[in-house]
Structure 1
Amino acid sequence: MPIFVQLRLYGKSRLICQRHLDQFRAGADQRWLDSDNSGSLGRRSHCGGRYSSQLSQFQRSGTIMVMMALASQRMSVTGGGSEYPPVPGLYLANDPLIAYTDCVAPSYIVGFMRFQRPINDAGSDYQYCMPGARQRFRSNAASVAVQLRWNGLVTRTDSRNLIGHIFVDGVFNSSFQTPGSINQVVTSTVTINMGSAADRLYEIILPYADGVEFGPIQVTPPSVITAAASRTGRLLVPYGDSITQGFSGTDLRRTWPFMLAQNRGFRCLNMGYGGRVVVPSDGTACVNLAPDLMIVMTGTNEYLSQIPVANYQSNLTGFLQAVHAINRTVPVYLCGTIYNAASLPIPLTSYANVAGTVIGALGYPQLIGVDRATLITNPGTQMSPDGTHPNDVGEAQMVTGWSAAIA
């Protein structure tokens, strides 16, 4: 006769058999968590209806009672008089020893930390990308295994970058990407083998154009995980389109927002969305992230779509007014629309001049103009073949240009 247990998990009661409890402990089968078996004992479990009479017998005899607290990794099982011990060396994604920085606050969903940036992006769903988000902790283990889940929530498939990174003690260690195809929902473990036991800082950093979630971390006892010191530095919020999100950098660590933050000791919460044009309410979304400084680089998609220049100017004005209404002192660095190889009826210069016009019209002391010519200085060597996005050389030049302007 199978042994059934009842779990209290995420505010719901779950009824499963011992076999599935063992599989859950081993991380082999979490599908039963998605079923809505909320309520009381005796409901049909993931294990099927053939145990219903045995469940009734167990219910009448009062031999089933389980309380599970995932945060403390402990399962107490009565009916056998035993206590399920915590999984040795397993730290759940919501363990307070594990920190998340350079990101919006994540949501803990079925064992994984999911990110959703505050601007919804219908048609692409880039809000589920969190470029440069970091999972941070320390460990004295020789080997650390980090579980990741690729969630398939980014609906656009033609413009993606899947490469994330592992930094150890602040230095690049290795890269990772999905083991499946684009938008395949898959869970995988990234193992970091250091070769020897020593206390180290680990940072798992997400790619700039993929939907990835952080899961549990496993070390081998007696090694442990401890909390990392808080990540400090001014919070930079760059806003813009695909050029700000990271395209066409080879990977995240070669994009200008990441490199600028690394070079200047900033934290960075990237609010670049591929394909986006300026929306006035985006200013509210960005300033509500409590930045210490902002960068605004826009106009490329307005130019390529030939949106009337007056509309672009009105929208950029509204964006900056929204920022100013909430925070009148946060520095906002703006540039004119950067180089583009396309030749279109409304010329690029008409869009490039908008930022300066808006800065002058608003007269806010917090607005600081940056010469776009310092960001791309040699299009022949600094632009990707599409003529719109910088290549790795161009990304590096943009770091130079922005850094020179930022106090």
Structure 2
Amino acid sequence: MPKIPYLKSLVMALTLLQSMHAAIRLPEITVPADHPKIHSSGYVSQKILTRTLDGQPVQSLQFNRLIRLNGKGYGWDNPGTRIAFRTNASEITAYLYYSENHSSTTARNSVGIYSVNGHSESDWTFQTAATSKVRSPEIVAIELPYPDTSGFHDYELILPYEDAAEFIGLNLNSGAALETFNSKRALRYVAYGDSVTQGFTSSRVDRSYAYRLAEQKNWELINAGYGGRSSAPEDAKLIASLSPDLATVLIGVNDWQGGRPIASFRKNMEQFLDNLRKDQPDLPVYLITPLWVPPSWQPARANIPLGAYRQALRDISQSRRDAQLHLIEGPELIDHDPKYFDRVAVHPNDAGFEMMAQRLQARIQLNSK
């Protein structure tokens, strides 16, 4: 008899799981994910998968940022990755598959945006229906608006910064056609760092500093920010492999929060830059020292002042005598006021990120190609 409540709970859980999977219905796809006129950008790697949904095979375009850490699945998030196409269709539905790869339920933001002819409205968003405490696969249908004028128009889907979304394809009205989408991005920008660069805790992907900066400069963004990342020399090889035209590096606050010795931090960052220069000797690199952090934020293991990590980066920048290595003082990017930061105070909020992007725009002066 004592086991009955447990069995009842188990049956209820299984019923709920079955209902969630039953809710995944295969949509009608007229343009598959691997269509040659679908243009994607802003990712580290991609591949076509064949998934089984509603008992039927369906192809999905999966994006991957390669780095795995913390068991959270952040390497499957693709902040600002774009899926673009050009069509004369009057009825357009795009389909995304939100997978189980982003396993964190405490840190997830599934909000993406879309644009038409380079323009986006504040309510042009998409996201999962799942709550932050539920992680099950889901198909999201995005009905895209048709402009008043006939002819071909450009559409872009911008993936969220903190969830794993794959592209399944499009459903267009009969007789619709696709043309080649021509990206007008001037150059490739790799933003490397930790959760601040990934976008935590902006309200959505287009309000993070890296996205805002790239939009202001008309750059293609590859967001290589990973929540929880600290100094890691091996990451430089990933950055170099992406053939960037410039890179920003904002790292160190997690070294501080974890109590990493300054000597170890400095050694890691020296090796990081050595690794980067092996393959990208002339790459413009903007090394950003850790941002100001409100004094209310006191990590238990942070036994060294944050300023010491900033000073280590200053010393590295000065000693290397690298004409393409530029130091930016992180504390100068956002006013020293808690109102610009989240309750997890190492993370700026939307207002803080906006200020940060504006000031970076002024400090990064690079001739477009």
Which structure has more relative contact order (CA 8 Å, sep 6+)? It is: 2
- DSSP 3-state at the match of 1:171: coil
Of 260, 265, 274 in structure 2, the residue corresponding to residue 307 of structure 1 is 260
- DSSP 3-state at the match of 1:253: helix
Separation in structure 1 between the aligned mates of residue 336 and residue 120 of structure 2, nearest angstrom: 29
Of 331, 346, 349 in structure 2, the residue corresponding to residue 391 of structure 1 is 349
Q: How high is the TM-score relative to the length of structure 1?
A: 0.76
Separation in structure 2 between the aligned mates of residue 305 and residue 28 of structure 1, nearest angstrom: 44
Q: How high is the TM-score relative to the length of structure 2?
A: 0.84
Letter of the 2:113 partner, please give it: H
Q: Is 1:99 paired with 2:51?
A: no
- DSSP 3-state at the match of 2:64: coil
Moved >6 Å (runs of 4+) = none
Separation in structure 1 between the aligned mates of residue 78 and residue 140 of structure 2, nearest angstrom: 19
Of 135, 138, 147 in structure 2, the residue corresponding to residue 183 of structure 1 is 135
Q: Is 1:262 paired with 2:215?
A: yes
Letter of the 1:235 partner, please give it: R
- DSSP 3-state at the match of 2:110: coil
Contact 1:142 1:198 in 2 (8 A): no
Letter of the 1:375 partner, please give it: L
Letter of the 2:314 partner, please give it: G
Of 125, 141, 145 in structure 2, the residue corresponding to residue 193 of structure 1 is 145
Of 169, 173, 177 in structure 1, the residue corresponding to residue 117 of structure 2 is 169
Separation in structure 1 between the aligned mates of residue 200 and residue 262 of structure 2, nearest angstrom: 24
Separation in structure 2 between the aligned mates of residue 404 and residue 266 of structure 1, nearest angstrom: 15
Letter of the 2:135 partner, please give it: N
Separation in structure 1 between the aligned mates of residue 309 and residue 180 of structure 2, nearest angstrom: 47
**1:312-345: CA deviation from partner (whole Å, max 9, x where unpaired):** 1111111111101111100000121111133443
Letter of the 1:309 partner, please give it: I
Q: Is 1:349 paired with 2:310?
A: no
- DSSP 3-state at the match of 2:45: coil
How many residue pairs get matched? Answer: 324
Contact 1:338 1:352 in 2 (8 A): no
Separation in structure 2 between the aligned mates of residue 388 and residue 236 of structure 1, nearest angstrom: 24
- Residues 28 and 163 of structure 1: CA distance in aligned 2, closer, same or farther (over 3 Å): closer
**1:182-225: CA deviation from partner (whole Å, max 9, x where unpaired):** 42111232111326544211001100010000111111022222
- DSSP 3-state at the match of 2:192: strand
Cα displacement (A) at 1:178: 1.1
Residue equivalent to 1:61:
none
Cα displacement (A) at 1:156: 2.0
Which consecutive residues of structure 2, in runs of 5 or more, have no partner in the other structure? 1-23, 51-58
Separation in structure 1 between the aligned mates of residue 184 and residue 135 of structure 2, nearest angstrom: 31
Cα displacement (A) at 1:385: 2.0
RMSD, aligned CA: 1.8
Cα displacement (A) at 1:395: 0.2
Separation in structure 2 between the aligned mates of residue 232 and residue 189 of structure 1, nearest angstrom: 27
Q: How do 1:3-402 residues align onto structure 2 when only pairs under 5 Å count?
A: 90-110=30-50, 111-173=59-121, 174-181=124-131, 182-194=134-146, 196=148, 197-341=150-294, 342-343=297-298, 344-402=302-360
Cα displacement (A) at 1:28: 5.3
Separation in structure 1 between the aligned mates of residue 277 and residue 147 of structure 2, nearest angstrom: 52
Which consecutive residues of structure 1, in runs of 5 or more, have no partner in the other structure? 1-26, 31-86
Contact 1:237 1:294 in 2 (8 A): yes
**1:82-135: CA deviation from partner (whole Å, max 9, x where unpaired):** xxxxx8x81111000101011123110011100111222242221101111111
Contact 2:70 2:228 in 1 (8 A): no
Identity %, equivalent residues: 27
Letter of the 1:192 partner, please give it: L
Contact 1:384 1:391 in 2 (8 A): yes
Contact 1:336 1:354 in 2 (8 A): no
Q: Is 1:406 paired with 2:359?
A: no
Cα displacement (A) at 1:230: 3.0
